[in-house]
Amino acid sequence: MFTQFFGSYLLNNKIVSDEQLIEALEISKQTRVKLGVLAINAGYMTAEQIDEVHDIQATVDKKIGDIAVDMGYITSSQVNELLSSQKTGYLSLGQALVDKGYMNNAQFEKSINDYKNENKIEYITKNVEQNEKIDEIFNRFFNFNPSPNTKFYSEYISLLFRNIVRFIGDDFIPLKASIIQNYFSDLLVTQEITGDFNAFIAISCTEKSFISLASRFANENFTKLNEYVNASVGEFLNLQDGLFSVNISNEKGIELDLEPQHIHNKIELNNLNNAYLIPVSFTFGKIDFIISSKNPLIN
């Protein structure tokens, strides 16, 4: 999940564009992380030193690592350590952006260091993906207004992102969330959570993204909008809300209930309350997730 939030950071700080980021995300799975990005990430070399080594490599037939060692920028044991280290997703994303020329080494160096500082992360390993740092990153990213009505928003959204990774895929970037009162949608699935915590949840997107989302979840290749597509997105929401209820029951001892999901076409949601719009940019299109503490008026 760190990869997606690092991507979002790059986007929000206007270091790369939405299109560049999605393109890099798509190719990052096949991208081999090279020594430069690894050394910058580990803090063993600066971007300037990497660029210098690259310039020299253009004139001599030697490996980057050997040149860097010869110049005294790095030791050979550090080179071996980096090349045999586990490659985490955000490094592949960084490398893909550098390879495409959307970001240079200096920009990668600055953004990864700033991001780590802001989130108080010293060294990122695969384990960071699972540990409590992710919760902190979530809280800082979404920063929900504390109120009794929104008390479980963080839990809900953090589970939502884990379920997106589990059931849809990890090729997405979370975009900046915003507070909304009204929302217009061409196509939307909704579900109500009731009990000691009330919430209205909606998933909205274009028909094309809706079909892609349904295909991913059902593991099918849907080509047009039909009842199976609607049922698939509906079931994804139902599963997310069900698992959320299970977690809240286990962790807080609060029992929640779910209403059956509904599909709507071309509608306007009005009077949303404590409502957040959480857009997520997938490689197949953008999906809006909405959480509100009260049922809206549906027109």
Partner 1 sequence: MQLNELKILICDDSILVRKKFKDIIVALGCDNIIEAVDGQQAIDIYKEQKPTLVFMDIVMPVKTGIEALSEIISYDLNAKVIIVSSIGTNNKLKEAIKIGAYDFFQKPIDEGQLKKIIMNYIDKENQI
What's the DSSP call for residue 224? S
Binding segment for partner 1 among 12-20, 85-93, 226-234, 273-281 (CB under 8 A)?
226-234
* Contact between 251 and partner 1 per CB under 8 A: no
d(CA 229, CA 121): 40
Interaction between residue 258 and partner 1 (CB under 8 A): yes
Q: Measured from the CB of residue 234, what is the shortest distance to partner 1 in angstroms?
A: 6
Q: Is 241 in the site for partner 1 (CB under 8 A)?
A: yes
Beta carbon of residue 191, minimum distance to partner 1 (angstroms, whole number): 8
Under rule CB under 8 A, residue 231 binds partner 1: yes
Three-class DSSP category at 69: helix
Please say which residue, 175 or 243, places its beta carbon nearer to partner 1.
Answer: 243
| Residue 225 touches partner 1, criterion: CB under 8 A | no
Please return the burial class of 130, using the count of CB atoms within 10 Å of its CB with bins 0-12, 13-18 and 19+. exposed
The whole-angstrom separation of Cα 138 and Cα 5 is 9
- Segment 150 to 169, residues that bind partner 1, using CB under 8 A: 167
What sections of the chain are H helices per DSSP? 2-12, 18-28, 35-42, 47-57, 64-70, 76-83, 89-99, 105-118, 132-142, 153-163, 207-218, 227-252
> How many residues bind to partner 1 according to rule CB under 8 A?
23
Near partner 1 by CB under 8 A: residue from 69, 106, 175, 239: 239
Binding to partner 1 in span 166-185, by CB under 8 A? 167
